[in-house]
Homo-oligomer: A and B are copies of this chain.
Amino acid sequence: MDGVTDGAAPGPPLARLFAIAYRSLIDDLHAALRTRGWDDVRPAYGFVLLAARDGSTTVTELVDLLGFTKQAASKLVDAMAAAGYVRREATAADARRRPVVLTARGRTLLAAVEDVYRDLEARWAAAIGPDGVERLRADLVAVLAGPGGTLPPVRPTW
């Protein structure tokens, strides 16, 4: 049997699978966070936390990462700051830049996120094997990464 790919039954469209996969991970992540007492975490927070972990981030950098307007990114940061996860700072060199840095609470949440994340990927590994997960990741990166290995913005809005 080698005729799997021809015409008739190509299986579910990739877009649908990606949408479901993304949603499944995010839903599970936030459900797990809620059971641990984090009940004011919005889906985009995770990406911001990750970005802030790897060095301070500005609103403009978040725009590149998330793919929505700077106004929206600004509001997002405001909300995260109000919830105590991040703090806006000042830069000596450039008074316009107001870097977003993690608070202690933010770091705690980040640790929880990473922890849950490990569980979730482990569940994927249980289904398709650890090498299956890495193959998946590698394939996705191979298709999505542009020259220089940079990934496009996230923004799964619909």
Interface residues of A (CB under 8 A from B): 4-5, 10-26, 29, 43-44, 46-47, 50, 67, 117, 120-121, 123-124, 127-128, 130, 132-144, 151-158
Is B139 a contact of A132 with CB atoms below 8 Å? yes
> Shortest distance in angstroms between A16's beta carbon and chain B's nearest beta carbon?
6
Is B24 a contact of A117 with CB atoms below 8 Å? no
Is A154 a contact of B44 with CB atoms below 8 Å? no
Docked CA distance A110–B130 (Å): 37
**In the assembled complex, which residues on chain B have CB atoms less than 8 Å from the CB atom of A144?**
17, 20-21, 24
Residues A5 and B47 in contact in the complex (CB < 8 Å), given A22-B18, A157-B158, A158-B26: no
**In the assembled complex, which residues on chain B have CB atoms less than 8 Å from the CB atom of A155?**
19, 23
Residue of B nearest to A137 (CB): B11
Is B156 a contact of A143 with CB atoms below 8 Å? no
Is B18 a contact of A18 with CB atoms below 8 Å? yes
Is A158 a contact of B12 with CB atoms below 8 Å? no
